[in-house]
């Protein structure tokens, strides 16, 4: 006899939400509904406590959670500029959450790279289908020029990340650049460690620049298939050649 027919069920009584969770839920709903926009300043702690009919300690706890997830930015000090402001980007919170979960679940770097390769292949294909926008790849060319003369690994990695995020933006998909920045941030340490193992990192720099230039050529020619394949090969080759030795986790 199953649970439904025996009168038993897998549910339990609903527990009352903690006060700060109720505050979080209301702020979340206000953001989703558009009543709170990026850059909007939240009322002062005292005013929020009065509005919610809760203690200032509960408000402070809710704001700390929102700051940790990158939803609000706390401006310290006194005066008109002090207080909590709705962030214009959830990047830091998304990166932190992804990095923590990747470490907690011991997600192999290869799995992260494979997901990135799939997303970037799609981004390149979409960008190649939008060649009617003549300025689509202008910023990509500028980034490549800077990459070509990068003098150290950190600088090159930042430019390389900017290139791939910009390519994701060129796809026209609003979520892709957000996911790309989070993935790149999560894998940053493994990528830098891979570069540092190379005996001549500048040779790899020059090779990557050449691959980037070919990808742009395919995109500007409107060749979606070639652009997607080149992007996927580029990501996986870098992993096998630079990141794979001794790499087990992105955390």
Q: What is the pLDDT of residues 127-172, one digit of tens each?
A: 999 876 667 788 999 999 999 999 999 999 999 999 999 999 999 9
Separation CA 196–CA 172 (nearest Å): 34
Q: How many CB atoms lie within 10 A of CB 145?
A: 11
Higher-confidence residue: 92 or 240?
Answer: 240
Tell me whether strands 72-75 and 83-86 are parallel, antiparallel or unpaired: antiparallel
Tell the residue number behind the tokens 């493994």, with chain if given: 190
Separation CA 97–CA 178 (nearest Å): 13
Q: Which two tokens stand for residue 248?
A: 């087990």
Whether residue 216 is predicted with pLDDT greater than 50 in this model: the reply is: yes
Give the pLDDT score at 144: 96
Higher-confidence residue: 161 or 95?
Answer: 161
List the Cα angle 129/131/132 in 5-degree steps. Answer: 115
Digit-coded pLDDT (tens) for 52-65: 888 899 889 988 88
Give the pLDDT score at 20: 84
Higher-confidence residue: 162 or 91?
Answer: 162
Residues 6+ apart with CB under 8 A from 203: none
Residue ranges and CATH numbers for the domains of the chain are 19-88 (1.10.10.10), 92-243 (1.20.120.530)
**Rounded mean pLDDT, 185-196:** 92
The interaxial angle of helices 19-32 and 45-52, nearest 10 deg, is 100
Q: Which two tokens stand for residue 201?
A: 């990192």
Residues 6+ apart with CB under 8 A from 142: none
Q: Which two tokens stand for residue 6?
A: 């025996």
How far does CA 95 lie from the centroid of its chain? Answer: 5
Q: Print burial letters for 156-170: b (CB count within 10 Å at least 16), e (below 16).
A: bbebbbbbbbbbbbb
Task: Please give the mean pLDDT across all residues of the chain.
Answer: 85
Tell the residue number behind the tokens 């509904």, with chain if given: 33
The interaxial angle of helices 109-128 and 175-197, nearest 10 deg, is 130
Q: What is the pTM of this model?
A: 0.75
Whether residue 118 is predicted with pLDDT greater than 50 in this model: the reply is: yes
**Nearest residue to 167 (alpha-carbon basis) of 214, 110, 237, 112:** 214
Give the pLDDT score at 234: 96
Give the pLDDT score at 250: 40
């Amino acid at each position: 006899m199953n649970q439904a027919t025996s009168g038993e069920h897998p549910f339990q009584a609903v527990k009352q939400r903690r006060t700060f969770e109720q505050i979080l839920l209301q702020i979340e709903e206000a953001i989703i509904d558009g009543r709170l926009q990026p850059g909007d300043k939240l009322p002062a702690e005292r005013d929020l406590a009065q509005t919610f009919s809760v203690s200032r300690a509960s408000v402070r706890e809710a704001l700390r959670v929102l700051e940790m997830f990158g939803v609000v930015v706390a401006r310290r000090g006194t005066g008109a500029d002090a207080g909590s402001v709705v962030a214009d980007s959830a990047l830091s919170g998304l990166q932190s959450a992804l990095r923590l979960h990747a470490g907690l679940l011991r997600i192999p770097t290869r799995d992260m790279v494979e997901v990135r390769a799939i997303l970037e292949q799609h981004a390149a294909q979409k960008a190649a289908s939008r060649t009617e926008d003549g300025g689509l790849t202008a910023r990509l060319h500028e980034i490549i020029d800077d990459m070509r003369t990068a003098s150290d690994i950190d600088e090159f990695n930042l430019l390389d990340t900017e290139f791939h995020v910009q390519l994701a933006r060129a796809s026209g998909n609003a979520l892709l650049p957000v996911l790309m920045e989070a993935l790149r941030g999560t894998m940053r340490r493994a990528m830098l460690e891979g570069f540092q193992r190379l005996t001549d990192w500048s040779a790899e720099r020059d090779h990557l620049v050449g691959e980037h230039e070919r990808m742009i050529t395919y995109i500007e020619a409107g060749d979606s298939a070639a652009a997607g394949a080149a992007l996927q090969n580029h990501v996986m080759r870098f992993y096998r050649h630079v990141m794979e030795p001794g790499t087990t986790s992105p955390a």
